[in-house]
A = this chain, B = another copy of it.
């Protein structure tokens, strides 16, 4: 399965600006991308980073990607809006229409909790379209096996994608994964990275001084000025 990871190179993660400076948001976004790529490669696939601008996996990262990840990963630059850029990479019918197009998965770059096991549940099905919903009705990851499906990431994309598939008579499977449902967008999400994150992203947050804190029996993150 081809696996595409859209990545906004400039000004990423603006909704984290209440707690992270721009330089830190860029660094965390790259650490999360590194963890997503690591999970895809560990699951046996070769990711393509669909980047909004040129990026170098060695020079533009303040962390060391493993040799496995560097060898397996391709960068493709496409500065169109997300929906257009992704649709250009989904399975397409051959001109003669008689060969089965290769399936394509699309995995968001901010799924910092992603593991190979979670991805394999996305990759393993045989429905025309498999969707891992995110909180708030988003589409965090999908696997497309049929050339008639196209994405539309605007708004409640999970419901829209189900409708788009239904309109074409395609079978849809929902992938029920907390790890794939947890995109890291807002300050509240950082607690999930510290509890369930896998490698670079939690290390990066800890290097910024974040740690878990209990308040009134609930868990949150606190930042030391150390």
Going nearest first, the 6 A-B pairs with the smallest beta carbon separation are A178-B181, A137-B219, A156-B219, A155-B214, A178-B178, A137-B195
Tell me whether A135 and B177 are in contact (CB under 8 A): no
A196 and B133 within 8 A (CB): yes
Query: A residues engaging B (CB < 8 A)?
Result: 115, 117-118, 132-133, 135-137, 154-156, 158-159, 176-182, 188, 191-192, 195-196, 212, 214, 217-220
- Please give, as numbers and ranges, the residues of chain B lying within 8 Å of A214 by CB-CB distance: 155-156
Besides A133-B196, A137-B195, A137-B219, 4 new A-B residue pairs in contact (Cβ under 8 A), listed by A number: A118-B176, A135-B182, A156-B214, A159-B195
Which residues of chain B come closer than 8 Å to A137, judged between CB atoms? 191, 195, 212, 219
Count chain B CB atoms within 10 A of each CB in A115, A136, A154, A214 and give the residue with the most. A136
Q: Closest approach, in angstroms, between the C-beta of A114 and any C-beta of chain B?
A: 10
Can you tell how many copies of this chain the complex includes? 2
Bound state CA distance, A137 and B196, in angstroms?
A: 9
Q: Which residues of B sit under 8 angstroms from A179, Cβ to Cβ? A: 176
User: How long is the Cα–Cα vector from A195 to B214 in the complex, in angstroms?
Assistant: 31
Shortest distance from the beta carbon of A52 to any chain B beta carbon, whole Å: 17
Task: Check B135 against A192 for contact (C-beta < 8 Å).
Answer: yes
A115: which B residues are within 8 A, CB to CB?
176
Closest-by-CB residue of B relative to A156 is B219
Residue of B nearest to A185 (CB): B218
Is A155 within 8 A of B219, CB to CB?
Answer: yes
| A174 → B minimal CB distance (Å) | 8
